[in-house]
Amino acid sequence: MPKTCSDPAIPSAARNVALAFRTIIEPFKIKSVEPIRSTTREERERHLRAAHYNLFLLPAENVLIDLLTDSGTGAMSSRQWAAMMVGDESYAGSPSFERFRHAVQGIFGYKHVIPTHQGRAAERILFSVMCKKGDVVPNNAHFDTTRANVEFTGAEALDLPTREGLEPSNPGLFKGNMDVAALEGLIGRVGRDRVPLVMLTVTNNAGGGQPVSMENVRAVRAVCRRYDIPLYFDACRFAENAYLIKLRETGYETKTPKAIAQEMFALGDGCTMSAKKDGLANIGGFLCTNDDRLAQQEKDLLILTEGYPTYGGLAGRDLEAIAVGLEEVLDEDYLRYRIVSTAYLGKHIAQAGVPIVQPPGGHAIYIDARAFLPHIPPRQFPGVALAAELYLEGGIRSVEIGTLMFGDAAKMDLVRLAIPRRVYTQSHIDYVIEVVLEVWKRHEQIRGLQLTYEAPFLRHFTARLEPL
């Protein structure tokens, strides 16, 4: 199954910029390898029973292809490893921080750059400083840690997706957009003083890895300016979002992903970032703001729990790896391979009838488990059943995003196949396609599950289940 430029899964703009040859290859060669271990079906049955049918409880060494998450699971380049060796571990004023700050400011453009150990630490500090009980924070779609950190301050985390963003089979190009009319309506209803900031998550993880258009960012910013409300980005997958704008939004075809990212961030007042995604690092994050007063309060809080403001809980070598990663992630060859590889997986399972969230987003393919297993009601966890079956069939680990994770509040039961960055090759993806299609052939025989143990909160991490 060669991946070609004439493949309709590859957006037309990408085909236009493709090279003379039809096959799009991984834009890297491999210098260091890590073995992955095959297991027999009998072994996997045993491992799955021991993990109580919850893939979070599975030791990673029993997994062949790990698509649990794209966070912190990427492969670093030889340039990043080399940069780590020059990492300076001074407590204060490390030159590694200066290189990190320079790299961040070159793309994001904000005045203050505050390093953190990962994205959620940036969120906790931002919301602690800006929010209080009774406030409302609108977002196109909060990620779970973002929501939890907003709610921890007593404020309400409100998702304002567009209608098409909630329709899995709708092939809309910018299903990550915020509903701008709903934002205006909200501010009118609760009053400007209860909305301390507006957030845009690019791309939108909770909503299927879908991008936000520049037009939507401009429209959201116009509302924010009218009411004098700061606009912040949750920038975890900013490079994938920038590349999807290049492919899909009129007027951006010839711009570089870096120029598009710079244009987007110039429309905001700050951001939170998990460098474990589009920082191409295994750990790290940052918080940015243009506001001097807020930055001072944020740095004070940072010192309390993360560390001094020139390292923020990271080693100097981590700061170096992120500085290089931020440059590499905007490389067009890399982004083309990344987006095409994800789309290729989506296209080949969808054309065999597997129901997925359309169109494929940047970092993952989401299978619609309720449509895949219509005979299993949500209370019998169709997403968990499907994820267990993918493991049994081929040793693939995915994650349920549905009734186990969100309880009765789940609007969909999805299985996310998240693609780690620069880790798996074309043949790994072809293998994943084969396994999904094998499971699809016998989907009618798959049974639901019932809970035997659940924790009082965030139950999906530790839940135990058994087949019905």
Binding site for ligand PLP (CB under 6 A): 71, 118-120, 143, 145-146, 201, 205, 234, 236, 274, 276, 285
Query: Closest separation between CB of residue 283 and ligand PLP, Å?
Result: 8
Among residues 175 and 443, whose Cβ is nearest to ligand PLP? 175
Q: Of 172, 177, 173, 171, nearest to 159 (Cα)?
A: 177
Query: Closest separation between CB of residue 272 and ligand PLP, Å?
Result: 7
Query: Closest separation between CB of residue 389 and ligand PLP, Å?
Result: 25
Among residues 339 and 401, whose Cβ is nearest to ligand PLP? 401
Among residues 119 and 383, whose Cβ is nearest to ligand PLP? 119
Among residues 236 and 324, whose Cβ is nearest to ligand PLP? 236
Among residues 14 and 155, whose Cβ is nearest to ligand PLP? 155
Among residues 376 and 419, whose Cβ is nearest to ligand PLP? 419
Among residues 119 and 313, whose Cβ is nearest to ligand PLP? 119
Query: Closest separation between CB of residue 275 and ligand PLP, Å?
Result: 8
SS3 annotation, the chain: CCCECCCCCCCHHHHHHCCCCCECCCCCCCCCCCCCCCCCHHHHHHHHHHCCCCHHHCCHHHCCEECCCCCCCCCCCHHHHHHHHCCCCCCCCCHHHHHHHHHHHHHHCCCEEEEECCHHHHHHHHHHHHCCCCCEEEECCCCHHHHHHHHHCCCEEEECECCHHHCCCCCCCCCCCECHHHHHHHHHHHCHHHCCCEEEECCECCCCCECCCHHHHHHHHHHHHHHCCCEEEECCCHHHHHHHHHHHCCCCCCCCHHHHHHHHHCCCCEEEEECCCCCCCCCCEEEEECCHHHHHHHHHHHHHHCCCCCCCCCCHHHHHHHHHHHHHCCCHHHHHHHHHHHHHHHHHHHCCCCCECCCCCCCEEEEEHHHHCCCCCHHHCHHHHHHHHHHHHHCEECEEECHHHHHHHCCCCEEEEECCCCCCCHHHHHHHHHHHHHHHHCHHHCCCEEEEECCCCCHHHCCEEEEC
Among residues 335 and 451, whose Cβ is nearest to ligand PLP? 335
Type of residue numbered 302: L
Query: Closest separation between CB of residue 194 and ligand PLP, Å?
Result: 23
Residue closest to ligand PLP (Cβ): 119
Angle subtended at Cα 239 by Cα 340 and Cα 85, rounded to the nearest 5 degrees: 105
Query: Closest separation between CB of residue 410 and ligand PLP, Å?
Result: 18
Q: Of 381, 374, 360, 379, nearest to 440 (Cα)?
A: 374
Among residues 146 and 358, whose Cβ is nearest to ligand PLP? 146
Among residues 126 and 349, whose Cβ is nearest to ligand PLP? 126
Among residues 276 and 397, whose Cβ is nearest to ligand PLP? 276
Sequence-distant (≥ 6) Cβ neighbours of residue 303 within 8 angstroms:
309
Query: Closest separation between CB of residue 363 and ligand PLP, Å?
Result: 8
Query: Closest separation between CB of residue 466 and ligand PLP, Å?
Result: 29
CA distance 287 to 279: 13
Query: Closest separation between CB of residue 118 and ligand PLP, Å?
Result: 3
